[in-house]
Structure 1
Amino acid sequence: MLERLKPRLLPLTMAAALLGSLLAFAAPSSARAAVPETIPLKLANNSGLGQPVYVYTIGTSLTTGQQGWADANGTFHAWPAGGIPPVPAPDASIPGPAAGQTKTIRIPKLSGRIYFSYGQKLVFKLTTGGLVQPAVQNPSDPNRDILFNWSEYTLNDSGLWLNSTQVDMFSAPYAVGVQRADGSTVNTGHLKSGGYNAVFSALRAQSGGWAGLVQTRSDGTVLRALSPGHGMESGALPAAVLDNYINRVWQKYATATLTVTPFADQPATKYYGRVSGNVMNFTNGAGAVVTTFQKPDADSVFGCHKLLDAPNDAVRGPISRTLCAGFNRSTLLVNANQPDTSAANFYQDSVTNHYARTIHGQMADGKAYAFAFDDVGQHESLVHDGSPQQAYLTLDPFS
Structure 2
Amino acid sequence: MFRTLRHRIAATATALATAAAGVLLGAAPAAPAETAVPATIPLQITNNSGRAEPVYVYNLGTELSTGRQGWADASGTFHAWPAGGVPPVPAPDASIAGPAPGGTTTIRVPKLSGRIYFSYGRKLDFRLATGGLVQPAVQNPSDPNRDILFNWSEYTLNDAGLWLNSTQVDMFSAPYAVGVQRADGSTAVTGHLKPGGYRGVFADLRARSGWAGLIQTRSDGTVLRALSPGHGVGTGALPASVLDDYIDRVWQKYATATLTVTPFADRPGTKYYGRVSGGVMRFTDGSGAVVTSFQKPDADSVFGCHKLLDAPNDQVRGPISRTLCAGFNRSTLLVNPNQPDTSPAAFYQDAVTNHYARAIHSRTADGTAYAFAFDDVGHHESLVQDGSPRQAYLILDPLD
TM-score above 0.5, yes or no: yes
Q: Which residue of 1 aligns with 2:101?
A: 99
Q: 1:55-204, aligned counterparts within 5 Å?
A: 55-204=57-206
8 Å contact 1:10–1:67 — kept in the other structure? no
User: Which digits, 9 at most, give the CA deviation of each residue in 1:321-377, with x for residues without a partner?
Assistant: 000000000000000000000000000000000000000000000000000100000
Q: Which residue of 2 aligns with 1:361?
A: 362
Instruction: Work out the CA distance in 2 between the residues paired with 1:280 and 1:172.
Output: 40
User: Which digits, 9 at most, give the CA deviation of each residue in 1:15-48, with x for residues without a partner?
Assistant: 6542214589996584596101100000000000
Q: Which residue of 1 aligns with 2:9?
A: none
Instruction: Work out the CA distance in 1 between the residues paired with 2:100 and 2:28.
Output: 41
- Residue type of the partner of 1:135? A
- Residue type of the partner of 2:220? D
**Change in CA separation of 1:84 and 1:100 when aligned onto 2, cut-off 3 Å:** same
How many aligned residue pairs are there? 392
Instruction: Work out the CA distance in 1 between the residues paired with 2:289 and 2:33.
Output: 41
Q: 1:268-287, aligned counterparts within 5 Å?
A: 268-287=269-288
Shift of 1:278: 2.0
Instruction: Work out the CA distance in 2 between the residues paired with 1:98 and 1:143.
Output: 22
8 Å contact 2:30–2:160 — kept in the other structure? no
**Change in CA separation of 1:184 and 1:104 when aligned onto 2, cut-off 3 Å:** same
**Change in CA separation of 1:396 and 1:355 when aligned onto 2, cut-off 3 Å:** same
1:350 aligns with 2:363: no
8 Å contact 1:31–1:157 — kept in the other structure? no
Q: Which residue of 2 aligns with 1:18?
A: 18
- Residue type of the partner of 2:155? Y
User: Which digits, 9 at most, give the CA deviation of each residue in 1:69-124, with x for residues without a partner?
Assistant: 00000011110111111011000000000000001000110111000000000000
Shift of 1:216: 0.1
- Residue type of the partner of 1:198? G
Structure 1, unaligned stretches of length 5 or more? 1-6
**Change in CA separation of 1:86 and 1:375 when aligned onto 2, cut-off 3 Å:** same
Shift of 1:14: 7.6
Q: Which residue of 2 aligns with 1:315?
A: 316
Instruction: Work out the CA distance in 1 between the residues paired with 2:264 and 2:38.
Output: 32
SS at match of 1:362: coil
Q: 1:41-56, aligned counterparts within 5 Å?
A: 41-56=43-58
**Change in CA separation of 1:31 and 1:249 when aligned onto 2, cut-off 3 Å:** farther
Instruction: Work out the CA distance in 2 between the residues paired with 1:91 and 1:162.
Output: 24
8 Å contact 2:46–2:102 — kept in the other structure? yes
Instruction: Work out the CA distance in 2 between the residues paired with 1:270 and 1:92.
Output: 48
Moved more, 360-369 or 12-21: 12-21
- Residue type of the partner of 2:239? P
- Residue type of the partner of 1:149? N
Q: Which residue of 2 aligns with 1:4?
A: none
**Change in CA separation of 1:153 and 1:179 when aligned onto 2, cut-off 3 Å:** same
8 Å contact 2:89–2:128 — kept in the other structure? yes
Instruction: Work out the CA distance in 2 between the residues paired with 1:221 and 1:213.
Output: 15
Shift of 1:233: 1.1
Q: Aligned residues: percent identity?
A: 78
User: Which digits, 9 at most, give the CA deviation of each residue in 1:289-326, with x for residues without a partner?
Assistant: 00011110000000000000000000000000000000
Instruction: Work out the CA distance in 1 between the residues paired with 2:391 and 2:4.
Output: 23
SS at match of 1:19: helix
8 Å contact 1:37–1:109 — kept in the other structure? yes
- Residue type of the partner of 1:78? A
